[in-house]
Homo-oligomer: A and B are copies of this chain.
Amino acid sequence: MSSTFGTLLKVSTFGESHCRGVGAVVDGFPPRFPLTEEDIQPQLDRRRPGQSIVTTARNEQDKVTILSGTENGLTLGTPIGLFVANKDQRPDDYKELSRIPRPSHADYSYQMKYGIRAASGGGRSSARETIGRVAAGAIAEKFLADTYGIGIISWVHSVANIIAPEFSTREISRKDVDATDVRCPDKATADAMTKAIIEAREANNSLGGIVSCRCTGVPAGWGEPVFDKLEALLAQAMMSLPATKGFEIGSGFSGTRMSGLEHNDRFVQKGECLGTLTNHSGGIQGGISNGEPILFHIAFKPPATIGTPQETADFDGNDVILEAKGRHDPCVVPRAVPIVETMAALVLADLALRQKSRC
């Protein structure tokens, strides 16, 4: 288990799906910064289950408490303790799973690693684990916005085969994103996605999708080659989220089909700095931000827990039919949007502090 992330801004998360609660300790956050629960709650609200027709029915309010690290609404520079209680637990839903590992879930690999696993829910592999990240990342977002004017915005780019128009270079706000339950800023596409997700749920099936993210206002110079290049840390951060299968920066896999002449981003004067005419680099060159928007995409697989009975094997190797209970999202991408944003913020804020040490 390795639940600490970051070099100077260090986040340590804790909590399983069915213990007393989940949370995080944020160490290294700058002092004298206005911070209250109200700064954190909005992203937790966007992440929480039961918020719309396309998400799981588990009902958690996920109200955050700041345990330490602030006084009179200002950060002290000391560790910020964050806690969210678990409330709506139904351990009985998971009884059968003690002997049958769910296909493509973490039951089997956790059992092989630890020789034990949480008896109910996904334990530490549950999406509830991301609450600590989101709470911590919401603080990082505020730091980045207030200090550098950085804006981070994610949206649903695709659900299964339903693909939104390209928004990477268009001005959109979180309000635009949240205008639909599915968090795709194109209304027509969003409607099709919603319909597909509801159909999948009704068919006891699930769907995957792609989340896009854009970070604007990131100054040139962030990223620590060679192992902590900006895209490398973003990749680690995103691929550490449950259900992710792929990460692309800038042109990504489609960039492999371009020639160098097409792919190269020509420099031009932009204000007082250089900028680039195109942005196939995704705002990063040599592992370091170049001042252009950071652009990336993350692939989320269809959730493993589905209502349809599945042929599989129990821990003893016997063929069995598994009929899963529990409450799960038919498609995780709408709720993944704030998770992606806050994880990106954790990466950027840590690299901001590391670059400051050099100035």
Contacts and interface: CB of A to CB of B under 8 A. Distances in A.
B285 A14 contact: no
A7 B7 contact: yes
A347 to B, nearest CB: 11
A61 interface: no
Contacts of A122: 286
Given A19-B68, A67-B23, A246-B247, A290 B108 contact: yes
Contacts of A158: 256
Nearest to A234: B239
Interface in A281-318: 281-282, 284-291, 297, 299-306, 308, 310-313, 315, 317
Interface in A130-188: 158, 160-161
A302 B263 contact: yes
The DSSP consensus for interface residues of chain A is: mixed
A49 interface: no
A71 B256 contact: no
A161 B255 contact: no
Question: A3, A125, A226, A280: which has the most chain B beta carbons within 10 Å?
Answer: A226
Nearest to A21: B67
Contact of A264 (B124, B248, B291, B304): B304
B249 A246 contact: yes
A239 B209 CA distance: 22
A253 B261 contact: no
A284 B125 CA distance: 13
Nearest to A236: B236
A266 B358 contact: no
Interface string A257-268: 111111111111
Contacts of A207: 259-260
A338 interface: no
B226 A240 contact: yes
Contacts of A161: 257
Contacts of A310: 261, 264, 266
Contacts of A297: 253
A210 B253 contact: yes
B109 A68 contact: no
Contact of A317 (B14, B260, B274): B274
Contact of A235 (B3, B77, B112, B236): B236
A304 B299 CA distance: 27
Contact of A267 (B257, B258, B285, B312): B312
Contacts of A16: 68-69, 71, 76, 78
Closest 10 CB pairs of A and B: A106-B286, A206-B260, A269-B317, A109-B288, A236-B236, A208-B256, A112-B220, A14-B79, A2-B224, A260-B302
Given A4-B227, A208-B258, A245-B252, 12 more contacts: A2-B226, A16-B68, A19-B68, A20-B66, A20-B67, A25-B25, A83-B83, A113-B220, A158-B256, A235-B247, A260-B304, A269-B317
